[in-house]
A and B are shown apart, each in its own frame.
Chain A
Amino acid sequence: MKTSYFPGCTLNTTAKGFDNALRASFAALGAELVELPEWNCCGATFPLLVDNMLDLAAPTRVLLAAQEQGDRLAIACTMCYNVIRRTNNRLRADADALEKLNYFIEDEYRGGVEVLDVLQILRDDVGFDAVKAAVKKPLTGLKVAAYYGCMVLRPPAEVAYDDPENPRALDDLLVALGAEPVEWPHKAECCGAYLAVKSQEATAEMSYRILSSAQRAGAQAIVTNCPLCQFNLDKQQLDMGHQHGGYNPIPVLYFSQLLGIALGLDTTDFGWERHYVDARPMLRERGHFA
């Protein structure tokens, strides 16, 4: 089983480890991700003005590129998933918009591509049972807090493939890998995201709530499917001690990194050195990292 794959800019740069671990893991599970031969920026935000057609052009071009390869498009970056999926919804529901955009991009996207998050493919197509069966080094004893962010959940009617108030997919995957996901209330709470540009303090507080709640619940690491949340939660911890004395940092991992470890893959290019809070000592201590 092969699926067309759109990495997006984040997985191509800062989150290269997410990307490498993901491709290696999917290949090992027999669900190869095939990068689109040519792709461009997803547009980065879904325009909220209904007459803002111009901002739909970039994601439509991505869909067009996917259409040339088949009828399914896998996306790992949750932001890209959100933008492209919502663009696709709009184009499928609004023939006028589709016609306008096709005119603009001077090509013909027909609306037939199914936009899927990689976690969704793992759950629905590969199946967590199959993942479990393929696990060579179960993450026994590792307590993790699954963190989803908002991009795969909101707005629910448009993008969610999981319960938006109490998502399960990532927790269930982690169980399949042998880890122990903790029950905690902030799985889908906003990490602050771009608010960091405007108000560093507000974002730091929002991140602190999430990070500290995960630790209170007994997690040794936070595991996420969102590369933007990962960056935010990871980096915010550098200065967290200033506001919250005695704060103990906690590693924030991409789920694909743990997936790769559990599948027994070579983890050297999983981007460990790019994390602000190094996860390796914690993993090594528990015997999950050489």
Chain B
Amino acid sequence: MRKIGVFVCHCGLNIAGTVDVKRVVEAVEEYPGVVFATDYKYMCSDPGQALIQKAIADHELDGVVVAACSPAMHEVTFRKTARAAGVNPYLTEIANIREQISWVHEAEPDAATVKAIEIIETIIEKVRYDEPLEPFSLPLVKRALVIGGGIAGMTAALHIADAGYPVVLVEREAQLGGKMGQLSSLYLNFDTAPDLLQSRIEAVTRHPNIQVLTEAEVTELGGYVGNFTAKVNGSEPFTFDVGAIVVATGFDLLPQSELGEYGGGRYPDVIDSLQFEHMLAQGEIRRPSDGTLPKEVVWVQCAGSRDPELHKPYCSKICCMYVAKQAMAYKQRVPDGQAYVFYIDIRSQGKGYEEFVQRAMTEYDVLYLRGKVARVFAEDGRVVVWGVDTLSGKAVEVQADLVVLATAAVPSAGARDLAQRLRVSTDEYGFFSEAHPKLRPVESLTAGIFLAGAAQFPKDIPETVAQASGAAAKVLGLFAQREMVQEPTIAFVDEELCAGCGLCVAACPYEARVMHPWKPIAVVQTALCQGCGACVVACPNKASSLHNLATEQLLAMMEPVL
């Protein structure tokens, strides 16, 4: 018979203010198998942990129940505490009497106390049937795959390669560089984009640890974190194993043809911002229609962004800054020209960013008009822009020579298909989803696949480089382990009972269940199993089971609450 200790935490008044902890201790002390029970103000504090360890030694406990906050908070803490005192960590369980009881039943202390007792008894039953387990290890391939050869992908690849690990960098186009390769100069210092980029491209192509595959795409991905198998097409298709993946596929601009209200795709002298970058890079600012020098140039910000009715509801984030840069670059080349910028708000959040936009207004006399553009049309050889200046409350008409649309940034073509091949989720617009918006912004929800740059959401270069460095750090963190450690609380198959019907294979949402290559039974791919239990329910023979959540164990756990 297991000797179980129960430790009831007050969590200050968080629990003890509602639940009568003394009554709880008195009740569970009497429960079969419990040899020791006590309460304490803060069980997670050092004295609290010492109390647990002392009780383990004094009463020779081999099972521990801590009645406290959610296991998401301190399960790890208490398992470590108990292990140090000689109890297998999987024989230490948490009864959540804070989030599930005291916090939600504040108005009913009596009922809350009864419920706390029942929940603790449930967990006592669980510990009674728990088996001692050890995490198991899986091999780890210390090679990374980086998808996308723009500044994001190259940055991530360089960091990983510099740390000594091989990297395969896959780029769809013939050249590395991505969108940054299409830029002329960069804010805030008008650095020449090609120069900056060239140093990165050279570092990548010369790096002994980086293998660059251009005009190539990832066509298939199998396996799991630490053990992916990727197939790449291209001049010579090949298949290779990697342990981690960085997705850095970047963005595209919303096609101009979708912006009919701004004359997009209809008038040659209405262009998008990348076309204007191209002109700046070539050093020749000319109207596409007749090759003349444009003297009146209008930038339309939020063209397709912040437009929930017709286009994208989100802010594309990068446009305010590059429009200021483009307008200044234009004025540097055409000092007697007039630059106009229609804007909703100026979003210049970054070190030196606001000052930069102010320079555009004051030093370069770029005319900023706060208001939306209603319509753009061509008449008498000019492009007429109708808009409103909401500061003066007047309708504005500009007879322009050239209109530059700061079109919305959207995920790069094919991103959704790639996401499906990688089994990575995307948001409603097709940007790759991060695992947590605040705490895990460089990870995807798929273990071992990380995100860098505008593939996740529009970002400028410094932000992209920062995220790419973060993604590389996550990859290196993974590679720093000797092997992959996997939780042992997963499913297993009793070969004697398994009839090989395959129902569990279809039921598994993680592709963790396959048929044995020659025996008529199903087997668990331990690295993929998340312990959800779908296979246990699906199995008609009860051959599927979960470690430490066995069917008979669950039934025993239900006893106290019935």
Contacts and interface: CB of A to CB of B under 8 A. Distances in A.
B379 interface: yes
A216 B379 contact: yes
B261 interface: yes
Contacts of B380: 216
B520 interface: no
B260 A213 contact: no
Counting chain B CB atoms within 10 Å of each CB, the highest count among A166, A184, A185, A216 belongs to A185
Given A185-B378, A213-B379, A216-B379, A165 B384 contact: no
A124 interface: no
Interface in B344-401: 375, 377-380, 384
A165 B379 contact: no
B266 interface: yes
Interface string A181-201: 000111001000000000000
Nearest to B261: A165
B266 A166 contact: yes
Contacts of A164: 260
Contacts of A266: none
A166 B384 contact: no
B148 to A, nearest CB: 34
A182 to B, nearest CB: 12
Interface of B is mostly: strand
Contacts of B375: 189
Contacts of A189: 375
B379 A166 contact: no
Contacts of B261: 165
Interface in B26-41: none
Interface residues of B, number: 9
B379 A163 contact: no
A184 B552 CA distance: 80
Nearest to B375: A189
Contacts of B378: 185
A213 B261 CA distance: 18
Interface string B242-273: 00000000000000000011000010000000
A163 B260 contact: yes
A201 to B, nearest CB: 14
Contacts of A165: 260-261, 266
Interface residues of A, number: 10
Given A166-B266, A216-B379, A185 B260 contact: no
A214 B377 CA distance: 14
A152 to B, nearest CB: 16
Nearest to A155: B309
Contacts of B379: 184-185, 213, 216
Nearest to A185: B377
Nearest to A165: B260
Interface in A148-196: 163-166, 184-186, 189
Interface in A192-218: 213, 216
Contacts of A186: 377
B500 to A, nearest CB: 49
Contacts of A166: 260, 266
Nearest to B384: A185
B384 to A, nearest CB: 7
Contacts of A216: 379-380
Counting chain A CB atoms within 10 Å of each CB, the highest count among B266, B375, B384 belongs to B375
Nearest to A184: B379
A213 B384 CA distance: 12
A216 B384 CA distance: 15
B245 to A, nearest CB: 39
Contacts of B260: 163-166
Nearest to A163: B260
B403 to A, nearest CB: 13
B484 to A, nearest CB: 50
Nearest to A164: B260
Contacts of A185: 377-379, 384
Nearest to A213: B379
A189 B261 CA distance: 11
Nearest to B259: A165
A166 B380 CA distance: 18
A184 B384 CA distance: 12
A165 B256 CA distance: 13
Counting chain A CB atoms within 10 Å of each CB, the highest count among B375, B377, B380 belongs to B377
Nearest to A156: B310
Interface of B: 260-261, 266, 375, 377-380, 384
Please name the 5 residue pairs, one residue from A and one from B, whose CB atoms are nearest each other, closest first. A165-B260, A185-B377, A185-B379, A165-B261, A166-B260
Interface of A: 163-166, 184-186, 189, 213, 216
15 contacts: A163-B260, A164-B260, A165-B260, A165-B261, A165-B266, A166-B260, A166-B266, A184-B379, A185-B377, A185-B378, A185-B379, A185-B384, A186-B377, A213-B379, A216-B379
Given A164-B260, A216-B379, 4 more contacts: A184-B379, A185-B377, A213-B379, A216-B380
